[in-house]
Amino acid sequence: MNTGVVEAPLAAVPDLAGLEPVEKIKRRWPMLLGGGLTLLMILSLGRELFGSGLAGLTRNLPQNPLFYLVFLLYYIGPPTFDYVIFRRLWRIPLDGMAALYKKRISNEVLLGYSGEAYFYAWARQRTQMVAAPFGAVKDVMILSAIAGNAVTLAVMAVALPLCINLLTPTYQGYALGSLAIIIASSLPFLIFSKRVFSLPRRDLTWVFGVHCLRVVAGSILIGFAWHLAMPGVPIGIWLLMAAGRLLVWRLPLVPNKELAFSFIAGLVIGEGQALSELTAVIAALTLLLHVALIGGFSIHALAAKLRS
């Protein structure tokens, strides 16, 4: 009888010890996910860099130095607006900007919303900053999409009656069908908002407003960048084209959005080919900034690890 009493706790010891690696993995999964996504970003950027990603730089680069200043403001816009949002929600420190830039890069070079997964993993590693980050990341992501849809609908309400006759019957069908999809995709989040969203209504309204401002600011900046690169076209026309770009890029049923936008630009300003080449230049400059930032962040992280 005494032997059985002694053996029972001894038999339990290996089982408890065997659980320890699982607990370590549970605690380390945000770091593993973040590191894995960072590695995928580096590989994807390298593939684009050594592929045709820099082809736009073989064209004539804009000569006006103000173009590059406005382009830089356009580039840093989305992470900066995200920082404003999470600064209010979480009191995020300034070094969180690196995570927000990686979030933006991941969304562009990997799968859509992979950046949100990276940012969520980054926040999970800093539980002293926020205990349960999933709800806020989810709400901000959904509101970003709704804000983009709302601004697009506003642009469509103004532009579609004026230019619907310029479109071919096929593109008219694409535009009207896309309009229905945009409305239908946003309605469920509004109807079931109490079940979908986690943040207080006051925060939701504020975040939605910041996202709308981000979309409008991005369109204005890209319009000014085009004007500085091609000053022969009045700035008002370029701002109109920026609104058209926003419209085309968010319409889900329009195939080959680049071709569709060049077609519209050709009708409005007669510079469809020139604008396509300028778009290729902007894409190449964006890729260069992506590579420079990921390289800088990686070197900084490695240096910090070596110091520790």
Per-residue pLDDT tens for 110-122? 877 788 888 888 8
Contact criterion met (CB below 8 Å) for 216 and 72: no
How many CB atoms are located within 10 Å of the residue 300 CB? 12
Q: Is residue 16 part of a domain?
A: no
284 domain residue, yes or no = yes
The contacts of residue 149 (CB under 8 Å, 6+ apart) are 182, 183, 185, 186, 250
| Residue 150 domain-assigned (yes or no) | yes
Confidence at residue 24, expressed as pLDDT on a 0 to 100 scale: 47
pLDDT of 212:
95
3-state secondary structure of 113: coil
Evaluate if residue 154 carries a pLDDT over 90.
no
Residue-number span of the structural domain to which 172 is assigned: 63-92+132-307
Gyration radius of the chain over CA positions: 24
**What's the pLDDT band for 23 if we cut at 50, 70, 90?**
very low
Q: Is residue 285 part of a domain?
A: yes
34-44 pLDDT tens trace? 667 777 777 77
Query: Is there a domain that residue 178 lies in?
Result: yes
CA distances (Å), origin 308, targets 31, 46, 93, 183: 17, 29, 21, 52
Is the pLDDT at 245 greater than 70? The verdict is: yes
- Residue 273 falls within a domain, yes or no? yes
What six digits make up the tokens of 263? 């077609």
Asked whether residue 49 is domain-assigned, the answer is no
Average pLDDT over residues 230-255: 79
Domain assignment present for 111: no
Q: How many domains does the chain have?
A: 1
| Neighbouring residues of 249: CB distance < 8 A, sequence distance ≥ 6 | 257, 261
* DSSP per position, 258-285: HHHHHHHHHHHHS-HHHHHHHHHHHHHH
Average pLDDT over residues 121-150: 84
Sign of CA dihedral 225, 226, 230, 236: negative
Average pLDDT rounded to a whole number, residues 165-170: 66
Q: What is the pLDDT of residue 253?
A: 65
Please write the tens of the pLDDT for every residue from 71-97.
999 999 999 999 999 999 988 888 889
* Mean pLDDT, all residues of the chain: 79
Q: Specify the 3-state DSSP secondary structure of 192.
A: coil
Neighbour-count burial of 230, counting CB atoms closer than 10 A to its CB (0-12 exposed, 13-18 middle, 19+ buried): middle
- Residue 212, Ramachandran bin (φ over 0: left; ψ between -120 and 50: alpha; else beta): alpha
pLDDT value at residue 79: 95
At residue 203, the pLDDT reads 93
**Structure tokens belonging to residue 20:** 């320890």
